[in-house]
């Protein structure tokens, strides 16, 4: 039986003369919110196939736009600098379906998503899980995570460029797995600095970040957070409101002659946000919880 086909997503810059993520990295302490918006609007994803799951495409979009911006605005980029800078350096994403079995290979509804730099090294590894019954079993979620760390360790041993491992799963995130990761980080009494840095000590010395996601539905009053099951039905029980997403990057809203970025270098259509079907929220470290304290 042949292995599942791997697909790629190219991360391109719409206009090289306009502000980019790398410009933000170079001027991290002086760039403004407008600069962040301009750089995010200047990112373009080009998929080699329509077979890549929407969960994966939307998460990649989230990482190189919303998450990159959130890490800077929250100050978390100071604690996870290698992670943040690796987002800006990523030029290509390889999507690998996860398989199990020795004699009979079975494709699982899970994907290893490799963010690669210009030299081809994987700096960020995201484990994106589609919603399915087995993942909701605590022992299976933890077992899949341990297998992920094994693959990450092999990847890092072959070429030591890995900076961060991300686990992306449907809401609600497995409580068993969350506690397992928390224990690996030092337990519930971990000091605030270590919690923000979120570094695994074994088997890899890399950042570990957890995300949960749901289906975003435009309702005129923001976005609703729901879960889509594997058969296409929705489970709205226990949903919460993650807050509205940016609706536009209209130049009129971000125009400021004092900023470094120049929005006139981008076409107005390029300045509009392109919200995906799925919405993502970082739960470890929990930036929103830190803001409420």
pTM, to two decimals: 0.81
DSSP 3-state of 239? coil
Q: Is 276 inside a domain boundary?
A: yes
Distance, in Å, from the CA atom of 124 to the CA atom of 281, rounded to the nearest integer, reads 18
Q: Is 117 inside a domain boundary?
A: yes
The sign one gets for the Cα dihedral 30, 36, 38, 43 is positive
Is a pLDDT exceeding 90 seen at residue 251? Answer: no
Q: Is 1 inside a domain boundary?
A: no
Q: Which of 252, 248, 250, 247 is nearest to 219 (CA)?
A: 247
Q: Is 163 inside a domain boundary?
A: yes
Structural domain span for residue 245:
7-292
How would residue 100 be classed by pLDDT, with cut points 50, 70 and 90?
A: confident
Q: Is 2 inside a domain boundary?
A: no
- pLDDT for 105 equals 80
Half-sphere exposure of 235 toward its Cβ, with a 13 Å CA cutoff?
Answer: 14
**Structural domains of the chain, count:** 1
User: 10 Å Cβ neighbour count for 170?
Assistant: 23
Cα of first residue to Cα of last residue in the chain, in angstroms, is 53
Distance, in Å, from the CA atom of 18 to the CA atom of 215, rounded to the nearest integer, reads 32
Question: What tokens were used for 203?
Answer: 């088997």
**Which residue's entry shows tokens 């929250």?**
74
Q: Is 134 inside a domain boundary?
A: yes
Question: What tokens were used for 154?
Answer: 């092999």
- pLDDT for 104 equals 76
How would residue 4 be classed by pLDDT, with cut points 50, 70 and 90?
A: confident
Higher pLDDT, 31 or 10: 10
């Amino acid at each position: 039986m042949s292995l599942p086909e791997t697909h790629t997503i190219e991360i391109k810059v719409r206009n090289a003369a306009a502000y980019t993520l790398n410009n933000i990295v170079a001027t991290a302490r002086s760039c403004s919110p407008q600069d962040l918006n301009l750089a995010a609007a200047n990112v373009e994803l080009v998929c080699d196939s329509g077979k890549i799951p929407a969960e994966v495409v939307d998460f990649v979009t989230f990482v190189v736009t919303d998450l990159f911006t959130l890490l800077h605005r929250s100050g978390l980029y100071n604690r996870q600098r290698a992670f943040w800078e690796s987002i800006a350096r990523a030029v290509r994403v390889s999507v690998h379906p996860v398989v199990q079995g020795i004699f009979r290979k079975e494709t699982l509804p899970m994907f290893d998503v490799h963010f690669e730099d210009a030299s081809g090294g994987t700096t960020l590894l995201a484990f994106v899980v589609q919603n399915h019954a087995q993942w909701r079993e605590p022992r299976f979620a933890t077992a899949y995570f341990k297998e992920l760390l094994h693959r990450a360790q092999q990847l890092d041993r072959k070429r030591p460029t890995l900076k961060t491992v991300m686990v992306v799963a449907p809401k609600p995130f497995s409580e068993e797995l969350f506690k397992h990761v928390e224990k690996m980080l030092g337990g519930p009494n971990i000091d605030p600095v270590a919690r923000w840095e979120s570094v695994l000590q074994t088997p890899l010395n890399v950042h570990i970040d957890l995300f949960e996601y749901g289906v975003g539905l435009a309702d005129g009053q923001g976005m609703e957070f729901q879960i889509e099951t594997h058969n296409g039905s929705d489970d709205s029980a226990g949903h919460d409101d993650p807050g509205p997403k940016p609706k536009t990057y209209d130049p009129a809203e971000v125009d400021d002659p004092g900023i470094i970025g120049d929005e006139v270098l981008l076409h107005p259509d390029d300045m509009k946000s392109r919200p995906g079907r799925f919405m993502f929220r970082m739960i470890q470290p929990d930036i929103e919880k830190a803001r409420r304290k």
